[in-house]
Amino acid sequence: AQSVSQHNHHVILSEAASLELGCNYSYGGTVNLFWYVQYPGQHLQLLLKYFSGDPLVKGIKGFEAEFIKSKFSFNLRKPSVQWSDTAEYFCAAAVTGNNNAGNMLTFGGGTRLMVKP
């Protein structure tokens, strides 16, 4: 069964610090990978996605993620965080190439990021 794990449950950073949130997935086939963000009181929003091609993908608000197939990882990075990045971040995966799979998303447990001003 497909699963997604996020290593850090809570991360606290000061503004301008660099961010890296870990994500690992377990699935042997082809997967699409995503990072979603949930700002306080708001709905889930897509930050970035990886389908194929360049393993380094850039998303909104200066975020990027690197797909490393050999490590089954899709870590999220941002060179310099801002107070407004305080939110919960979710890594997710969806299988492809399977008529029964559709676009069901499997989410990790989430990482709550707090950025201190």
Partner 1 sequence: DAGVTQSPTHLIKTRGQQVTLRCSPKSGHDTVSWYQQALGQGPQFIFQYYEEEERQRGNFPDRFSGHQFPNYSSELNVNALLLGDSALYLCASSLFWQKWSSYNEQFFGPGTRLTVL
CA–CA distance from 45 to each of 26, 49, 56 (Å)?
23, 11, 20
With respect to partner 1, which residue has the nearer C-beta, 13 or 105? 105
Give the whole-angstrom CA distance, residue 26 versus residue 78. 24
Q: If binding is defined by CB under 8 A, does position 29 make contact with partner 1?
A: no
Binding mask 66-95 for partner 1 (x = CB under 8 A): ------------------------x-x-x-
Residue 50 near residue 92, CB atoms below 8 Å? no
- Give the footprint of partner 1 on residues 36-55 (CB under 8 A): 36, 42-46, 49, 51
User: 2 near 105, Cβ under 8 Å?
Assistant: no
Interface with partner 1 (CB under 8 A)? 4, 6, 32, 36, 42-46, 49, 51, 90, 92, 94, 96, 99-110
